[in-house]
Amino acid sequence: MVREVDTFVALITLNVRARRRDGSPAFARFVHRFNIRYSGHGDASDDVLLEFVNTNGVMHAWPYARAAVQAASASLGLLPILLPVFRVQAATGASVRTSSPK
């Protein structure tokens, strides 16, 4: 995380490995790095901003990674790889999960 006057920038890295349903080793790997610029943090401490990024960063980057993986897999001649919709589990703690479309 890089803090500036009225903004801060978070680096989010998403590493996706594509496997077949039979559990065989990954046949494709996609790594996407996002620099997300947030503004309007006021005088929040670095700890608060880091907690914000850890809680929200992946959720903010996920739709872009999902589109990028689908486009990259199609341009490689693979069947399009569709990442599931990102869902935050409503429970105590900060657990997150993904859900495959039915």
pLDDT tens for 8-56 read 889 999 999 888 888 888 888 999 999 999 987 778 888 988 888 888 9
- Strand 96-99, strand 85-88: pairing: antiparallel
Six token digits for residue 88: 């935050």
pTM check: above 0.75: no
Number of domains in the chain: 1
pLDDT given for residue 98 in this prediction: 42
Q: Do 82 and 99 touch, CB atoms closer than 8 A? A: no
Structural domain that includes position 86: 2-99
